[in-house]
A and B are shown apart, each in its own frame.
Chain A
Amino acid sequence: MQRSLSMGLTSLLPLKLPSRMETHLWYIRPDEVKCASLLKHYSQLLSPTEKDRVLQMRGDELKKNALLARTLVRTTIARYQTNSEVDPRSLMFKKNKYGKPEVDWQNYNNCNNPPLHFNISHTDSLIACGVTVHVPVGIDVENKERKIKHDVLAFAERFYSADEVKFLSTILDPEVQRKEFIKLWTLKEAYVKALGKGFSAAPFNTFTIQSKVGTEGCYNLCKTSEMTISSLEKTEKCYEEWRFALLELADSHYGAICTEDDQAGGGGPMRVIIRKTIPFVEDELISESKLL
């Protein structure tokens, strides 16, 4: 889809903040962004450090995707500003002490900054950004058709929890098993990213994510107690404060979202608003929720 840019790009349309119970999920399909002058416009939004990182990517496609990822983050966050228009170029970012990126509001008037949290994930054919207010968010997207080079169960035994291995080993169809493996991967990654303390804070084999019995699309996080030494005394504790959603995006990807439930949102399943975007060109509301 090509759009004529001769009339100039639209300025960024402002967005209403997500409510406490909502996650906004934005995604770009790199194969829909081909216009050289649009990409040039995007590159002008980036900080010098970001431009360097884009250039370090090996190959044009990776460079383009890295550019689109930073553009998605900057333009999306800029649109949520509650007071006057914010130039996406002016946003600054920092990392928390574990390396998780977050917005650095130091240049702005403190009172009016929305308490936005964001997280991005990319694959070669889809780049996504999740946005929440007040609570941390983690997202992960994976191509549904992604092939795992190793034997799926061997991989799970090495990295996943015992209960997850048990669950995967009950699936007889290797294709279904591979898909469930990938869904689990996205859910686990989303949790670790939401936690924001790095992978060593939550090694994959120390927690289990499973479907909530009797629900559609709701997942539970359970952890084996770290305090016990004897395996006979292991207790499973389920953590209600982490909420998950698993979605199908663009018919080609699984997307997992994890947010912290601070109880102020009133509990209940996560509401996700999914929008596909080409910054400065158009947004498309995909659906209110399309949970798996």
Chain B
Amino acid sequence: MASLSTTSLSFKAPSTRISQVLRKGSSFQSVTFGRFTSSTSKSLRLQISCAAKAETVQKVSDIVKEQLALTADTPLTAESKFTALGADSLDTVEIVMALEEKFNISVEESDAQNITTIQEAADLIEDLVQKKPAA
């Protein structure tokens, strides 16, 4: 198969900022999540929910890898867009169904369609899990 590296396109190295979180699992460095840095009132909640998010991101990544049949060496970060990983709309819906099953949540179709990255999926899951009435 022709490789594109010989063409006039130049390759940018993919962002590795969040990938360290995924590989190290439990150890959590000072990684900033773009959505939270602007809101200082959320900083307390940030400390508690960040650790959970790493685990959630990992679980979401595993589900995405399985649904899209990605090889182990496919570079995958929290910012990875589903479409960049080769997901079409049917894949996205299957991913959402798998997430619903895994986390025991129910995702509105409009929310489902707005998920484009692993991070967004993890954020939505955290939101929905928190909103669930206590058992």
Contact A199 B109 (CB under 8 A): yes
From residue 82 to 99 of chain B, which have CB atoms closer than 8 A to chain A? 84-86, 88-90, 93-94, 97-98
Contact B4 A63 (CB under 8 A): yes
Q: How many residues of A contact B (CB 8 A)?
A: 39
- Is A204 interfacial (CB-CB < 8 Å)? yes
A40 adjacent to B113 (CB under 8 Å): no
Q: Is A83 an interface residue (CB 8 A)?
A: no
What A residues does B6 contact at CB under 8 A?
36, 40
A43, B94: Cβ atoms closer than 8 Å: no
Q: Knowing A61-B1, A155-B97, A158-B97, say if A43 contacts B8 (CB, 8 Å).
A: yes
Check A200/B90 contact, CB under 8 A, given A51-B9, A58-B85, A64-B2: no
* In the assembled complex, A203 has its CB within 8 A of some CB on chain B: yes
- A200 partner residues in chain B, CB cutoff 8 A: 109-110, 113
Stretch at the interface among B25-33, B42-50, B73-81, B120-128: B73-81
Given contact pairs A40-B7, A198-B113, A57 touches B94 in the complex (Cβ within 8 A): no
**Residue interface bits A219-235, CB-to-B below 8 A is 1, else 0:** 00000000000000000
A146 closest partner in B (C-beta): B90
A159 sits at the interface (CB 8 A): yes
List 20 extra interface pairs beyond A34-B2, A198-B113, A199-B110, CB under 8 A. A35-B2, A36-B2, A39-B4, A43-B7, A44-B8, A51-B9, A54-B4, A55-B11, A57-B86, A58-B80, A59-B86, A60-B1, A60-B4, A149-B98, A150-B98, A155-B94, A155-B97, A159-B93, A159-B109, A200-B109
- Say if the beta carbon of A261 comes within 8 Å of chain B: no
B contact residues around A7 at 8 Å (CB): none
Q: Is A189 close to B, CB under 8 A? A: yes
Within the assembled complex, what's the spacing in Å between the Cα atoms of A158 and B81?
24
Q: Which 9 pairs across A and B sit closest by C-beta, in order of nearness? A: A36-B2, A199-B113, A40-B7, A200-B110, A43-B7, A56-B84, A203-B109, A62-B86, A39-B2
Query: Interface size (B, Cβ < 8 Å)?
Result: 30
> Which A residue sits closest to B95, measured CB to CB?
A149
Min CB gap B135→A, angstroms: 23
In the complex, the answer to whether A56 meets B4 with C-beta atoms within 8 Å is no
Inter-chain CA distance A54–B67, complex, in Å, is 22
Interface of A is mostly: helix
| Closest B residue by C-beta to A36 | B2
Give residues of chain B (58-82) contacting chain A, Cβ–Cβ below 8 Å.
Answer: 67, 74-76, 80-81
Q: Tell me whether B38 is interfacial, beta carbon within 8 Å.
A: no
Most buried by B among A56, A58, A64, A155: A58
A122 within 8 A of B: yes
Tell me the chain A residues, 31-76 only, with Cβ under 8 Å from chain B.
34-36, 39-40, 43-44, 51, 54-64, 67
Residues of A within 8 A of B9 (CB): 43, 51, 54-55
* Interface status of B39 (Cβ within 8 A of chain A): no
A58 touches B86 (CB 8 A): yes
A189 touching B84 in the complex, CB below 8 Å, given contacts A39-B7, A40-B6, A200-B113: no
Q: Can you spell out 6 A-B residue pairs with CB atoms less than 8 angstroms apart?
A: A51-B9, A60-B1, A148-B94, A150-B97, A200-B109, A200-B113
Are the CB atoms of B74 and A58 closer together than 8 Å? yes
Chain B: CB-nearest residue to A155 = B97
Minimum C-beta distance from A129 to chain B (A): 15
Decide: A43 and B4 in contact? CB cutoff 8 A: yes
CB within 8 Å of B: which A98-132 residues: 122-124
A164 within 8 A of B: no
> Which of B76, B84, B89, B90 meets A62, CB within 8 Å?
B84
B12 at the interface (CB under 8 A from A): yes
> Across the two chains, which residue of chain B brings its CB closest to A33?
B2
Smallest distance from the beta carbon of B105 to chain A beta carbons, Å? 13
User: Once the chains bind, are A124 and B7 in contact (CB under 8 Å)?
Assistant: no
Contact at B12–A150, with CB atoms within 8 Å? no
Which A residues lie within 8 Å of B14 (CB)? 58
